[in-house]
């Protein structure tokens, strides 16, 4: 057997801690649902009419993942770095064109996530009809807690909340998702062959806002767990 010679080290596949397991969960892709709570869609100035709209998605590079508890630099290129607290579905089985009735079979478990956002750049991109990458695909900008195994379980309710420096900024309930977890899995699987290790960040409730260097974020989702992020100074110019 020959060994392939690489010019530089191959990027590592990110892996996630799993509650109660010594094995870690390797990550494949990161999908994010836009505007999936009505009150957040309204605060963004883009209300959602589920009767005439479909969910939409963006992605982040797996290399943007950072584990809960990390201290990350305030990112370059923004003056309005926002938190978005989200329930994350961890896919554990493959599926393509899955029905809503079968969607639960793809669920390995759940995690708490932060979809960190350069809001200033995202809104410029949105309003100019440009891609959202600079607003969303941010180094250290996809924060994830440990994975909680709940195979086949569909979460339908539970408080989702976030504090900055101990002050409550977001508080809602997963029951207020516009598109439910089975609806999201079924819809996303019409575009992608979903694979184990795919993560679906299901959208944020209202109350998004900025953080500054020195701030600490902590969030929780009832029945899932908690997530923490510390925002440090920007890298020196
Ligand atoms: Mn989001």
Token look-up 């209202």 returns: 206
63 CA from centroid of ligand 1 (Å): 17
**Mean pLDDT for all residues in the chain:** 97
DSSP string over 114-145: EE-EEHHHHHHHHHHT--SHHHH--TT-EEE-
Q: What percent of the chain has pLDDT over 70?
A: 100
pLDDT in tens, 61-89: 999 999 999 999 999 999 999 999 999 99
Q: How far is the CA of 36 from the centre of ligand 1 (A)?
A: 9
211 neighbors 75 (Cβ within 8 angstroms): no
Q: Which pLDDT value is given to residue 1?
A: 62
Task: Assign a CATH topology to domain 24-232.
Answer: Fumarylacetoacetate hydrolase; domain 2 (3.90.850)
Q: So what's the pLDDT on residue 47?
A: 96
pTM of the model: 0.97
CA 209 to ligand 1 centroid distance, Å: 12
């Amino acid at each position: 057997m020959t060994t392939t010679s690489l010019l530089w080290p191959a990027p590592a596949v990110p892996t996630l801690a799993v509650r109660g397991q010594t094995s870690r969960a390797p990550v494949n892709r990161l999908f994010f649902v836009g505007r999936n709570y009505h009150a957040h869609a309204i605060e963004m100035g883009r209300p959602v009419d589920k009767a005439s709209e479909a969910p939409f998605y963006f992605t982040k590079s797996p290399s943007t993942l950072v584990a809960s508890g990390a201290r990350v630099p305030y990112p370059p290129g923004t003056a309005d770095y926002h938190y978005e607290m989200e329930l994350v579905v961890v896919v554990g089985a493959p599926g393509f064109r899955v029905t809503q009735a079968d969607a639960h079979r793809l669920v390995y478990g759940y995690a708490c996530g932060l979809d960190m956002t350069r809001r200033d750049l995202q809104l410029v991109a949105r309003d100019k009809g440009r891609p959202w990458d600079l607003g969303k695909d941010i180094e250290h900008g996809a924060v994830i807690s440990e994975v909680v195994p709940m195979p086949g379980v569909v979460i339908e309710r539970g408080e989702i909340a976030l504090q900055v420096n101990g002050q409550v900024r977001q508080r809602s309930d997963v029951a207020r998702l516009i598109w439910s977890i089975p609806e999201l899995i079924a819809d996303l699987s019409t575009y992608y062959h979903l694979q184990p290790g795919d993560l679906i960040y299901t959208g944020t409730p209202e109350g998004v806002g900025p953080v500054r260097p020195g701030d600490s974020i902590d969030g929780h989702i009832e029945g899932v767990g908690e997530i923490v992020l510390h925002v440090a100074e920007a890298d020196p110019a």
